[in-house]
Amino acid sequence: MERPLAENGVMEHVTVVSCSPNASMAERYAATCAAFAVAEGARAEGQDVLLVLDDFTGLIGFTVDMAKLSPQLENSAPTEEDGVERMVEYEGMIINALLAERRRFLGMTLQRCARLNDKNGGGSLSLIGCMWHQKGAYKGRKGSKKDSGDLAAEAALPSGFDEMSDEMKAKITAALEKKKKAAEAAAAAEAKKDAAMAAVAAANEKFIQPRSLVEEFMSITDGQVMVDSYSPKNGWVISVKDSVSRIGTPGAAAPLKSLDMMQIRLDVMQADDMVAFGNEGDEKDYMGSRSQSIRGVLRQTPGEPSTLSETVVGVYGLQRGHVKNMNADAAAALTKKAVEKARETIPEVMAAIDAAPGTALTAEVEAKLKTLYE
């Protein structure tokens, strides 16, 4: 882990807290506490700290043990229901002890993330928690296909078309064959994507948490970034549809608000619904193309996070109609070309956007961004 950080020159302001892969639950919990202590110490000195926690097994294991021990700690008389399944009162609800202890502990953990006022140094601590969920827990919705016939599965004419001319039958058969091949290609691509995700998940099986726990953690945070898929070539692909910021529009950078970026997520959701449930037609093709373009523009090369100005270049192309009617790979390539051109021709505009994220785009700046796609 430290090697890529050192190669990018960030170890001067990064502290890595780790334990061995075979560490006990107690050692994992101690490592988590140590990471928080280091982060809080830097915050106390007035620094702005980002803590990335990629192992929750220590915290979760601790809550299980606490739920089992709590009757003894409370000096209450033992009962047959003592343990994680006994029911307790928590914030006006009657829930089992494990769930209550987990919510209490996760809530207290997140409360350590805060900004100090100026009197206390003005430092801040933000947390990004990385959780693995069970495979398929958030799989997208599928159409029922009830009574619709799966024409993509076979290239034979359905019954009831015996009266057609041979020419018409040939056209329909060719169309069905084309659709069958497209479906087979899509299935192969999906299988390849699932295999890549499975390989990564297998290496991290011990870190996988049940969906109920993942959603519990999401419910008490300021939002979540959901990873849709992974490939060695493109890295992690973020799910625009399932990623949520509970801060909302006020938390977005002004240049992106100028481009109505909030519409992008809605477009992806509409496109996915159209693909799953809609009938064939121009609108479905357009929405599918729009969704692919969005995913391509938002793609980031592993190890090369995009700056605000680079994101603005891509979103400008999307929202102003310069990136359309293309698949994700083509959209990503066009965006990369536009960003490279921006660095060469309008570096002052890129620097200004990065330096002033609270400033909206002006007509003059948009005119310069337009030249990147001409």
Q: Per-residue DSSP letters for 96-160?
A: EHHHHHHHHHHHHHHTT--BPPGGGT--EEEEEE--EE-TTTTPPP----TTT--TTT--SPPTT
Range of the domain at 343: 224-373
In a domain, 345, yes or no: yes
Do 230 and 366 share a domain, yes or no? Answer: yes
Could you give the CA distance from residue 217 to residue 195 in angstroms, rounded to a whole number? 27
Give the chain's domain count.
3
Could you give the CA distance from residue 96 to residue 139 in angstroms, rounded to a whole number? 28
> Are the beta carbons of 223 and 126 closer than 8 angstroms?
no
Q: What is the CATH number of the domain that holds 286?
A: 1.20.150.20
In a domain, 137, yes or no: no
Do 365 and 248 share a domain, yes or no? Answer: yes
pLDDT tens-place string over residues 174-216? 887 888 888 788 778 777 766 766 665 555 566 777 777 788 7
Sites in the chain below the pLDDT cut of 50: 140-154
Do 229 and 352 share a domain, yes or no? Answer: yes
Do 280 and 166 share a domain, yes or no? Answer: no
What is the three-class DSSP state of 276? helix
Do 366 and 251 share a domain, yes or no? Answer: yes
E strands present in the chain: 48-53, 87-90, 93-96, 124-129, 132-133, 208-209, 223-224, 227-231, 235-238, 244-245
> Are the beta carbons of 238 and 249 closer than 8 angstroms?
no
Taking the model in full, what pTM does it have?
Answer: 0.65
Boundary residue ending a domain (205, 220, 235): 220
Do 254 and 363 share a domain, yes or no? Answer: yes
User: Cα Rg for the chain, rounded, in angstroms?
Assistant: 26
Do 173 and 298 share a domain, yes or no? Answer: no
- For residue 87, the model assigns a pLDDT of 73
Cross-strand pairs, 126: 50
Cross-strand pairs, 94: 89
- For residue 143, the model assigns a pLDDT of 40
In a domain, 139, yes or no: no
- Give the pairing type, strands 87-90 and 223-224: unpaired
Give the residue carrying structure tokens 């993509």. 152
Can you count the helices (H) and strands (E) in the chain? 13, 10
Do 211 and 238 share a domain, yes or no? Answer: no
In a domain, 347, yes or no: yes
Do 301 and 207 share a domain, yes or no? Answer: no
